[in-house]
Amino acid sequence: MAEQIIHFHPDRTPDRQEGPRGQIEKIGLFLRRKRRPIIAIQWLIVILYAAMVVIPAFLPLPPEDAHIWDNLRLFAQFCFWGLWWPGVMIATVTMGRVWCGLFCPEGAVSEWASRYGRGKALPRWLKWSGWPFVAFVCTTVYGQLVSVYEYPQAALLVLGGSTVAAIVIGLLYGREKRIWCRYLCPASGVFAVLAKIAPLHYKVDRAAWDRYQGNFEPVNCAPLLDVRRMTSASECHSCGRCAGQRGAVAYATRSPFSEILDINAPAKTSDALTLVYGVLGVATAAFQWTLSPWLLSAKLAAAEWLVDHNRFALLDNDVPWWLLTHYPEASDLFTWLDGILILAYLLGGGFLLGSLLLAGPLVATRLVRTKGLSWQRFALALTPLAAASVILGLSMLTVTHLKAEHLWLGWLPYFRVTLLTAGCFGSLWLAFRLLLPADVKAGLRCVAGLVMLWPVGLMAGVWTLVFFVW
């Protein structure tokens, strides 16, 4: 086997037994050889992306009898929020960050701009690991305040602003790298978490790398990874540029739970907080605030109090559209009170939900007190549930469009229950597998396992409220 690995070369098929594994390795080698067609596809996506972000922002409101297939504004809205985001999340969970490496228009233009940039040294503040989490929360909250899912003007502001920022970062710090994607992209933290359970990844054989004696071409790893020491799929963009490098890198299958169960794999605090407070906290609040009777009751009570005390400033709806939703032609106007309550619900509710969820991993860690079983790793055990949650939330947008087209959705409750159940059982299975090697009494392991039932049950309860109660 060692000799076979040594003769592994990116420009030819490795001399290995044919089968599913061999075919999967060939996909990685194919991606490495076909960089020019991939770049051409990326630029095609850039053009389509720009057109579908910019043009609908200058179109009038669609008439009541308009459909997805005969109105560009509705079509773009459905493509972005009904297909694109759910599809990207599903792809990340199944194949890793292939969207980032092969298709993302922001990554492509940022890397292109970096070729002509100043190539300045990266400042220390830019490398802070918390930026993806902060950017995700800010983008999510701001998007809800301006109704980014409903209005193309808001989408142009949010998505266009993000793209411009990616280009600027590329011009300042690039050197043919994707600095924006690595450190600042609002979606990067979410992708990093979900990619941990992807059954496809680029596997690095460290021993084969070190003993390789042949010639090889250097790899331009756009997200600045040390490929030789790569043990996680979180930051790998799955672009295929390193496939076959030094006979040690291969596109391969793995158990979707192997990375989280591997005590030697990193369990970063930034990933754990993004999962708990970002994906399961703020994002869940963002998906369900429009349905929440609690928010409606708070709004009615606050408005009544303001009227009774002759304080009408917060009931004013003359607010700029780029700050709060303001579209008189659609009779959709947010007041200052709406903005304050939505902000409080997303941030306060998201923080509260995240803190309640985090109680499980914290208590489980204290119970077992075993090296390697940190609260971060127990929190990452909730990744399957987080994947199910974000896909369920984003698919609500898909369902909204399909309902408007009067399509049959009798399958929807079964799909939701199945996906939520799979996420819950996946997270519980991970938690109990982590507890098996713990060097404590069986009773403590059982108690820790029961403690991990709490965050799973809580999220199941939240989604049950959204889909079957509210």
**Per-residue pLDDT averaged across 383-389, rounded?**
97
More confident residue, 75 or 440: 75
**Per-residue pLDDT averaged across 179-193, rounded?**
95
**Per-residue pLDDT averaged across 363-380, rounded?**
93
Q: Which residues of 69-87 are buried (b: 16+ CB within 10 A; e: fewer)?
A: eebbbbbbbbbbbbebbbe
**Residue in the structure block whose two tokens are 């909250």:** 141
**Residue in the structure block whose two tokens are 């983008």:** 139
Residue 366 and residue 260 in contact, taking contact as beta carbons nearer than 8 Å: no
pLDDT digits (tens, 9 = 90+) for 188-219: 999 999 999 999 999 999 999 999 887 878 88
Show the tokens assigned to 268. Answer: 């970063």
pLDDT digits (tens, 9 = 90+) for 8-47: 444 444 444 455 668 899 999 999 999 999 999 999 999 9
Q: How many CB atoms lie within 10 A of CB 394?
A: 22
How distant, in Å, are the alpha carbons of 24, 33, 187, 205, 244 from that of 7?
18, 17, 38, 14, 10
Q: How much is the mean pLDDT over the chain?
A: 91
Q: What was the pLDDT predicted at 3?
A: 34
**Per-residue pLDDT averaged across 412-428, rounded?**
96
**Per-residue pLDDT averaged across 266-283, rounded?**
95
Q: What was the pLDDT predicted at 149?
A: 93
Phi (first) and psi of residue 137, to 5 degrees: -65, -45
**Per-residue pLDDT averaged across 171-179, rounded?**
88
Is the pLDDT confidence value at 5 over 70? Answer: no
The dihedral sign for the CA sequence 395, 397, 398, 404: positive
Is the pLDDT confidence value at 118 over 90? Answer: no
Give the gyration radius of the chain's Cα atoms. Answer: 24
Residues 6+ apart with CB under 8 A from 392: 287, 416, 419, 420, 463
Q: What was the pLDDT predicted at 97?
A: 96
**Per-residue pLDDT averaged across 124-148, rounded?**
95
In which band, very low, low, confident or very high, does the pLDDT at 221 lie, cut at 50, 70 and 90?
very high
Q: What was the pLDDT predicted at 20?
A: 62
How distant, in Å, are the alpha carbons of 2, 287, 324, 356, 457 from that of 341?
62, 15, 12, 21, 27
Give 291-295 contacts, CB < 8 A, sequence gap 24+.
Answer: 291/466, 291/470, 292/345, 292/470, 293/470, 295/341, 295/342, 295/345
Q: What was the pLDDT predicted at 21?
A: 63
Is the pLDDT confidence value at 304 over 90? Answer: yes
